Structure 1
Amino acid sequence: MDFVRGHSGIHMLLAAEQQAQEIISSARNLKTSRLKQAKDEAEREAAAYRASLENDYKRNVSEDGM
């Protein structure tokens, strides 16, 4: 009987390990997705800021030229 009980315990541990690996994998994928989203958002904000500065510069140059 001890063999059957021990064998059952091993299966439970293996199942728990499998579940833990799935949870960790899911968390890593979510983290990667969030980092990509944050990077994309930062790039959009930087591009918008750069365009704003460029527009300000062009406006100042055209005002000085008049």
Structure 2
Amino acid sequence: MYSMRGHEGIQMLLTAEQEAQQIVTAARNLKTTRLRQAEEEAEKEAGLYRSNLESEYQKRVGETSGNSGFSLKRKLKQRFET
């Protein structure tokens, strides 16, 4: 009779261990999925930020080169007029 109870107890422990392992595996899979999603979102945000900085830089370069070109033309005009 004791051997039957012992066997049932061992079987219950094995079943509980398998269930716990399934829970841990599911949690790891969920964590991996969330990490991948977070990485993808971070990459998108970084790309958008980089794109905004680049367009702002190009805008300023355009403004600066436009002004220097204007200044150069004005200086040349002044030189030749005098």
TM-score by length of 1: 0.97
User: What is aligned with 1:7?
Assistant: 7
User: What is aligned with 1:63?
Assistant: 63
User: What is aligned with 2:18?
Assistant: 18
Q: CA deviation at 1:35?
A: 0.6
| Alignment coverage as a number of residue pairs | 66
Unaligned residue ranges in structure 1 (runs of 5+):
none
Q: Which has the larger radius of gyration?
A: 2
User: What is aligned with 2:76?
Assistant: none
1:49 aligns with 2:58: no
Q: CA deviation at 1:12?
A: 0.3
Q: CA deviation at 1:47?
A: 0.2
Identical columns (%): 56
TM-score by length of 2: 0.78
Q: CA deviation at 1:64?
A: 1.2
Structure 1 residue runs of 4+, over 3 Å off?
Answer: none
Q: CA deviation at 1:60?
A: 0.5
Q: CA deviation at 1:55?
A: 0.2
User: What is aligned with 1:28?
Assistant: 28
